[in-house]
Amino acid sequence: IKPFAARAKAWFEKLTLMQDVLDIWLKVQGVWQYLEPIFGSEDIMRQMPKEGALFKRQDGMWRENMVKVNEDVTVLKVVEIPNLLESYKEQHELLEQVQKGLNDYLEVKRLFFPRFFFLSNDELLEILSETKDPTRVQPHLGKCFEGIGKLQFEGDANTITAMISPEGEVVSFGGQVVQPSSMVEQWLVDVEKNMYRSMARVIDEGLEKYKSMDRPTWCLQEAGQTVITVTQMCWTADVDAALQKAAGGEKDALGKYHEQLVSDLNGIVEKVRGKLSKIERKVMGPLIVMDVHSRDVIGDMVKKNVAEPTAFDWLAQMRFYSGEGGVRVKMISTDLPYGYEYIGLQGRLVVTPLTDRCYRTLMGALQLDLGGAPEGPAGTGKTETVKDLGKATARQTVVMNCSDGLDYLAMAKFFKGLAAAGAWACFDEFNRIGLEVLSVIAQQILAIQRAVAAGVKRFIFE
């Protein structure tokens, strides 16, 4: 190498520099492309002035470099641009600060409105960048509230008076209004409170009307969720009453009630054969599913001569009771409060004996502050059963598809959301998560379960 050592060294330095420049250039370019549209929004610039200023500075340097590079794009000429590598290194540091600031900012918003934990950063930024016009948040509502497709805006979009399910069912906030402000997370908390309040109200009102009206007519006047919940509550009360009579010596009390259930079901079927609107059909569908199950359960109990309100055959059913503090859902020894999450007009699973068994196991686990893990072949309805139990008890149920790309940080974000929002989660394909990640997840779940068992309001997570 002696004769041309100087040339070889110069080439070596040039090629090393070239590689360094291209490596960091691609890194900076990736982050810049991600952040550029975010900081292009005036709202975000207003809410994050410090990060906005840093990004502006980096953006200026980036554009300056592009002008220089554009003069001659042959690679050997580009490498000779003075201070190119230093410039990119500085930009990379700036962008890291901006990203850290951005993540902290999103964390604050998530802690204020915990349902944001279930959204990706991009989805959350889309919501937060629409502060001027609250109606622009509508398309993203479904990601936070499964049952709310739209909100009903009155006036110049400055008051919200009702929620509308994706299927088009309207449930009003009963005279209460939400006033959207530029803080999206604040008025979404109000929407959530009003959703719970409205569901409690319409269920109570529905229960009052049910006793004095003809059943098929009543069904068509109420919200779908009210119809299911109130009929289940009345069914529970009626069976309890019939079993009391049977215990008192009236042998055929349950048999008589079974006949009434059959005629109730026939009345609904009659209605379905007539002319109904699309929404009315969606209300009637789940009702028939539940009515058939109620009829079969009682038919079964009549065959077994059950005549005690405390008989296991009756206690093993999912029963709904109305009380002072709202509706309670009971099954064997588990007693849970009804969640009042609005689910709209989603269909319900046909309840088979196996579904009932899964419910009993999962409800038993909930009483012990644990989770459940249904297993079985693909496509047998494990996820759907968990979602349906969520609908029955009116809880927000988030389904997360686990892939091998999940790291413990993403899971921590998700668990924080579950703990703060009080939601249920269903982790699909849980076994795909890498082993080293699973061991961390076990610790995370343990921390939450211990806190739940201890009944504390706050706990240290991670």
Backbone torsions φ then ψ of 327, nearest 5 degrees: -80, 140
Report the candidate in 292, 302, 286 with the shortest Cα–Cα distance to residue 347.
286
- For the segment 174-203, what is each residue's pLDDT rounded down to a tens digit? 888 888 888 888 999 999 999 999 999 999
CA 415 vs. chain centroid, Å, equals 12
Residue 200 and residue 338 in contact, taking contact as beta carbons nearer than 8 Å: no
- In DSSP terms, 159 is beta-bridged to 154
pLDDT at 58 over 90: yes
- In DSSP terms, 152 is beta-bridged to 162
Average pLDDT of the residues in 404-419: 88
pLDDT at 184: 87
pLDDT at 349 over 80: yes
Return all residues near 302 (Cβ < 8 A) that are at least 6 apart. Answer: 254, 255, 258
pTM: 0.85
- For the segment 221-242, what is each residue's pLDDT rounded down to a tens digit? 999 999 999 999 999 999 999 9
For CA atoms 231, 199, 217, 281, give the dihedral sign: negative
Backbone torsions φ then ψ of 316, nearest 5 degrees: -75, -5
- For the segment 136-168, what is each residue's pLDDT rounded down to a tens digit? 888 888 889 999 999 999 887 789 999 999 999
pLDDT at 131 over 80: no
Residue 348 and residue 289 in contact, taking contact as beta carbons nearer than 8 Å: yes
Backbone torsions φ then ψ of 55, nearest 5 degrees: -65, -40
* Amino acid, res. 167: E
Helix intervals (H) in 350-460: 353-367, 382-392, 408-421, 435-454
Report d(CA 80, CA 177) in Å as an integer: 64
Using a 10 angstrom Cβ sphere, with 0-12 exposed, 13-18 middle and 19 or more buried, the burial of residue 296 is middle
- How many Cβ atoms from other residues are within 10 Å of residue 453's Cβ? 11
3-state secondary structure 152-202: EEECCCCEEEEEECCCCCEEECCCCCECCCCCHHHHHHHHHHHHHHHHHHH
Report d(CA 245, CA 308) in Å as an integer: 9
The label of the residue with tokens 């004769």 reads 3
Report the candidate in 89, 84, 68 with the shortest Cα–Cα distance to residue 14.
84
Report d(CA 96, CA 93) in Å as an integer: 5
Average pLDDT of the residues in 423-440: 89
- For the segment 15-49, what is each residue's pLDDT rounded down to a tens digit? 999 999 999 999 999 999 989 988 888 888 888 89
Backbone torsions φ then ψ of 399, nearest 5 degrees: -100, 130
